[in-house]
Structure formats: structure tokens, C-alpha cells
Amino acid sequence: MTSVENAIELGVDGIEIDIVVNGQNELVVSHDPWMCETICSPGGVHYNLYDMHQQAIEEHDCGQIPSKKFPHQARFHSTKPLLRQLIKEFDWRDLWLFLEVKSRPEWDDLYHPNPHEYSDLIVSELADFEHLNKVYFMSFDSRILELIQSKIPNSKNLLLFDQMPSEKIQFNSIGPNHKLITRENLRNWKMQKLEVFAWTVNELEDIQKCKSGGIDGIISDYPNRLFG
């Protein structure tokens, strides 16, 4: 919650968060479907969020242990809120909401429901969200995006990838790893009328490269660097 608030204060026009499912079939804001062992206490893959009630999830702390990946990390008590809590906390009239759905075929019925149940949860959760037209549904798993697209016909669906897709892209937006941003790739994507959002662009050199490349958006762990 604090990170989102800080990003908004910096002037971003969109917030990207990851969602998983808890043991009560509620959508939880979390990068992993388990308690990440490097930042959560207690942590480890045996703390499977899909097996845990929200009350038990909130007994874990994921903000006090410093991460080697983020040396400037501020330490404070942090837990994993429900998606509906985060949505209610902020004014989305002037913000885009990018929801990355954590889903993999090998995780079906282990770390999350099967795609049909998973997509039903997402659609139900956002049924009353008055700014649904400002939501991008993102995933590396095309199955979940196809189902969301079928249930919300006008939805914005964004396929994530870190290697060039071998098949024709069936969605209106893509999220390539920023290392794939080249003039040739960008030209080909634009010829297909695709929106392009690069991830996760943290280094200043890469930020400048993406800014000058004509892409539609930059996803970064360091929004402050985007305005430098």
C-alpha cells in the first residue's frame, strides 16, 4: 500500500501489481504464490498462499528483511493485502491499473485454481469496479488472458514474454522484457498495431533507451528514476 501511494505521489500514470489466490478464493496482491524466502518472515515455498487464510497470510512480514536486489529498500512492516482492499484505497480516475495474473500450467490446482475458476474469480472481483475500462490484464499465461477476454469482451489484455513469441499474438497489447526492445522488433509490433509496455526497466541507461524508442509504457521498480 505504501509503495503504491509513493508511486502515485511521484506522478506515475499507472500502477502494476501482481495477484495470486489465497485459500479462501480471494485475490491477494503478491509477486509470488508463496511467501518469498528471501524477504518474508517466516518464508518459504511451504507457505503456499493458496493453502492459507488471509488472516494467516497477514501474520507474515515481507518488509523488514532487506533484499540484496534492492539496496535502497526502506524497511517497514509490510504484508500482502487483498486486491479489493488496494482498489478501495486509491482514486483510479486518473490512473491505469495493470494486473499481472500469476498463472502457469504447472501451477494449476497447486498454487492457483484452474484457468476457468481463476478467470471467474477475477471477473467477479472486478464486476463492480467503476474504472474497469482502465484495467490492463497481464500474464505470461495466454490461457487466462483468453478466458478473461471472452468474459469481458472489451477488456485490455496484455501478453507478457521474455522470449520472442513463435506464434501470432492474439491480444491488443504486449509486455516484452526490455532487453527485446530493438528498432526492428518495435517496428514489427507497431505494424501489428500492438501497444508495447516494457518490463522491468530499472537502470537509467535502459530507461533512456525505452523512452527514446517510442514504446507506450515503462514498468519499473524505480518510478522515481523515470522522472529524473
Residue 73 domain-assigned (yes or no)? no
Q: What is the pTM of this model?
A: 0.96
- Whether 142 has a pLDDT exceeding 80, the answer reads yes
Domain extent at residue 9: 2-34+82-161
Q: What is the rounded average pLDDT for all residues in the chain?
A: 96
Write out pLDDT tens, residues 11-41. Answer: 999 999 999 999 999 999 999 999 999 999 9
Angstrom distance (rounded) from CA 224 to CA 54: 31
- Whether 190 has a pLDDT exceeding 90, the answer reads yes
* pLDDT reported for residue 129: 97
Nearest 5°: CA angle at 121, between 34 and 167?
80
> Side chain identity at 121, as an amino acid letter?
L
- C-alpha to C-alpha distances, 5 to 55, 190, 220, nearest whole angstrom: 23, 33, 15
Residue 77 domain-assigned (yes or no)? no
Q: How confident is the model at residue 214 (pLDDT cuts 50, 70, 90)?
A: confident
Residue 129 domain-assigned (yes or no)? yes
Are 138 and 101 in contact by the 8 Å Cβ rule? The answer is yes
- Whether 228 has a pLDDT exceeding 80, the answer reads no
CATH number at residue 88: 3.20.20.190
- Whether 6 has a pLDDT exceeding 90, the answer reads yes
Residue 22 domain-assigned (yes or no)? yes
Residue 171 domain-assigned (yes or no)? no
Angstrom distance (rounded) from CA 189 to CA 195: 8
Q: How many structural domains comprise the chain?
A: 1
- Whether 221 has a pLDDT exceeding 90, the answer reads yes
Residue 102 domain-assigned (yes or no)? yes
- Whether 185 has a pLDDT exceeding 80, the answer reads yes
Residue 210 domain-assigned (yes or no)? no
Residues 181-204 have a mean pLDDT of 96
Residue 60 domain-assigned (yes or no)? no
* pLDDT reported for residue 213: 84
- β-bridge pairing 34-35 and 217-218: unpaired
